[in-house]
Each structure stands twice: as structure tokens, then as C-alpha cells.
Amino acid sequence: MASIDRIFSPFKALQEKLFARLYFAQSVSLLGDAVTWLGIALLAFEFGGNQSARILSVALTLRVTAFILFGPYAGVLADRIDRKKILYTTHFIRMALVAMLPFVQTLWQLYTLIFLLNVFRAFFTPAFKSAIPQVVSKRENYTNAIVLTNATWQLLGMLGPGLAGGLAVFMGARQIFFFDALTFVVAAFLILAIPGKLLAADENILSSASQISVWKDMRKGTQLLFENRPIRFAVMIEMIIAIAGAQILVNSVGLVKGSMGLNDQYYGWIMMAFGIGATLAAFSSNSIDRSRNKRFLLLLAGTLIISAISFANFVPYPVLIFLWVLAGLGQGFTYLPSQIMVAENIPIGEQGRVYGAQFAWVHLFWAFGYLLAGFTGSRFQSMGFLVGGAVALVLFIIVLVTSLRKGS
């Protein structure tokens, strides 16, 4: 009974009225993101037909590039100005950008809007993460709040495309972007309903801090990220997760439809299994590890996802579903410890720049993972997952040996 209570304990964070407003704003925004990407996929097919995969690969590259380029600066900004202002401003700008998508006529217009949308998402994310402790009054509810936000992200990532597909049937591929724009407006007004400001520090301190160069603050975000041993270990595990997870996102379709000879429906189910695993991990991570030491969850995460992908080329489809649930669990178990480690080890006035640096570095790891997955999937078609798993395992061992040697 106690374990069931722990699984549902994240919802206790909604008793905090300020967090509840921020949470529902994020949920509506996530639904908008799901609609955005489904609509972009439909536009890609409209422009490219059978070449839509190439268009989407460029879109994903632009997405990651925006995160890498602007994530560190966005984190610095989250420590310098009112985080609430960043949150609602980015929503209103994204509303305007998605409202332009129904009218695009060329690929360069589509690529430009995709890049700009993700630039402002890069500004939103560190401000959102660093705002959570400011709207949660009880310390025990902070962990619950992180678990709930991550679980909702996973759940809407799994269900959102289906809901967006239903909207596309009724509204049309281009018209769904108007619904998308409406979600960002609703989210912005929910954030505006949060009273007061969400300043990282006293306004006098912020005023003097403004004399410090932005570049120095960006470097400091990365320095704080890697000089703290627990946080550095978490970031290195996120690198492992990115390399293994990219194999799943890039090569699952080739495995299911190519090697196994199955249709789109089976591919949809296998990716849903991955999403279910990540969602279960998000909800259960709080009950699995109640201690201040989050290494256990991080080690479990790496072990699960590496084991899952390493055997993927050699198992029948029903077993692959089970492995992808395990892989989803592995990916989902990284979110709670990495975010809490920053909150526990970094002063609140510097958390924005650290979350911004983390956001950029993790997406840099994913960019490398996508390139590696493309190489292993095309060069080693019959055992691409095994090769990718071997690379991830070697890096995992190096991270473990290095962390033990330094006593982290």
C-alpha cells in the first residue's frame, strides 16, 4: 500500500497552487509541441513525398543546433531577469511562429520557422526548470514536482501525436497549427496568472551582476556543471543514454519494417512500448530511490538501456517489445536524479545557467548519437544495435572507472 502511495505521491505537488499553474501551463505547451511536430511531419510529406525523411532529418538537425547554440545563453538569461517574463514571452512568440506555418510555401520558410521555434524553446526550458523550486514551498514537494513534470512530458510525448493526428483528420494538416497557436496562448496566460516575479536573486544583486560579461556567465554554467562530481557523473550518464537512445529513434524503423518485414502498425507499437517504459520510469523513480544519493538510478538507467539495445538484432518481435519497455525505463530514470542534483548542489541564483549548459551539452550528445546511429544502421544493418550497444558499453565502463578513481 505504501508503494502505491509513493507512485501517486507526485500528484501531491499540485497542492502547491503556484506550481499547479506552472504545471498546467507546461502540459498545455507540451500538447502544442506534439501538434507542432506532427504538423511539420505532414508538411514534410506534402513537400517531399517519399523524400520526407530527408526533410525531417534536416528539421531535427536544426532543432538540436538551436538548443546547442542558444541553450547556454538562455540559462544565463534565466539567472539575470524575471523567469516568469521569459516563460510567457517565449510562449507568445512561439504562438506567432506556429501561426505562420499554415502559410509556408517553400522549404526554406519551413526550415526557418522550425529553427526559430526551437530557439525560443531553448530559452523556455532552463527558465522553466529553474522556476520550479521558486513555486514550491515544501521541500518534499520539489521531488514530486520534478517527477510529475517529467512523467507528463513522457506521457504527452506518447499520446500527443495520436491526439494531434485526430485533430488533423477533422481540421486538416495545415489548419491544426491554429489550434497549436491557441495552446501556447493558454499556456502563456496560465503563467501570467502566477503572482509576482520569479527572480533568481535580489534585484540589486542582479543589477550588479549585469556588469559581468554574458560569455563569462555561459562558461561558468559549463564549469559548474562539470566541476561538481555528482552532477558531472549524471551528465556523463546522460551521454550514454543519448548514444543508446539515438539508436532506438533512428534505427527502430529499419529493424521493424526492414529486417523483420512488418508494417507501420508494428513500428507504432514498438515506439509506444518505449514511451510506456519512459512514462513508468518517470512515475516510479521517486519510489525506487528515496535517498539523497541518486547514483543508483543513474547506474540502473545505463544498464537497462545498453542491455536492451545490444540484443535487439537477435530477438523476435514480442521480445523486442519487452526490450523497448526496458530501454524506455532506462531513459526515464535519468531525468529525476540529474535535475535534483543541480537543485541540491547549485545555488538558486546560478541554477538557470547550469540548466542551460546541461540542456546544450545533452543535445550535443544526442547530435553525436544521431550521427553514430546513422552510421551503425547503414554500415552494420544486421547487427547495428549490437555495435551501438558496444560503443555505449565501452563509454559506460570508462565513466564508471573514472568516477570511482576520483571518488565521485
Render pLDDT for 370-384 as a digit per residue (tens, 0 to 9): 888 878 877 877 788
pLDDT band for position 7 (cuts 50, 70, 90):
low
Q: Considering all CA atoms of the chain, what is the largest pairwise distance in Å, rounded to the nearest integer?
A: 64
Place of cell 538551436: 66
Q: Of 296, 369, 365, which is closest to residue 334 (Cα–Cα)?
A: 296
Quote the CA–CA distance of 317 and 314 in Å, as a whole number. Answer: 10
Intra-chain end-to-end CA distance of the chain, in Å: 35
Give CATH 1.20.1250.20 domain extents, the chain: 8-196, 213-408
Pick from 14-28, 131-145, 194-208, 239-253: least confident:
194-208
The amino acid occupying position 246 is A
Quote the CA–CA distance of 381 and 313 in Å, as a whole number. Answer: 9
Burial of 277 (0-12, 13-18, 19+ CB in 10 A): buried
Distance from CA of residue 323 to its chain's centroid? 21
Phi and psi angles of residue 228, each rounded to the nearest 5 degrees, phi first: -85, 120
How many other C-beta atoms lie within 10 A of the C-beta of residue 153?
A: 20
CATH of domain 213-408: 1.20.1250.20
Give the pTM. Answer: 0.72
pLDDT above 80 for 326: yes
Fold observed for domain 8-196: Growth Hormone; Chain: A; (1.20.1250)
Q: Of 281, 74, 255, 56, which is closest to residue 157 (Cα–Cα)?
A: 281
Place of cell 540589486: 204
Which pLDDT belongs to residue 38? 72
Query: What mean pLDDT do residues 344-350 have?
Result: 73
Q: Of 371, 395, 368, which is closest to residue 305 (Cα–Cα)?
A: 395
The 10 Å CB-count burial string (b at 16+, else e) for 291-317 is eeebbebbbbbbbbbbbbbbebbeeee
Pick from 92-106, 133-147, 169-183, 220-234: least confident:
133-147
Q: Of 392, 336, 403, 351, which is closest to residue 146 (Cα–Cα)?
A: 336
H helices, E strands: number in the chain: 16, 0
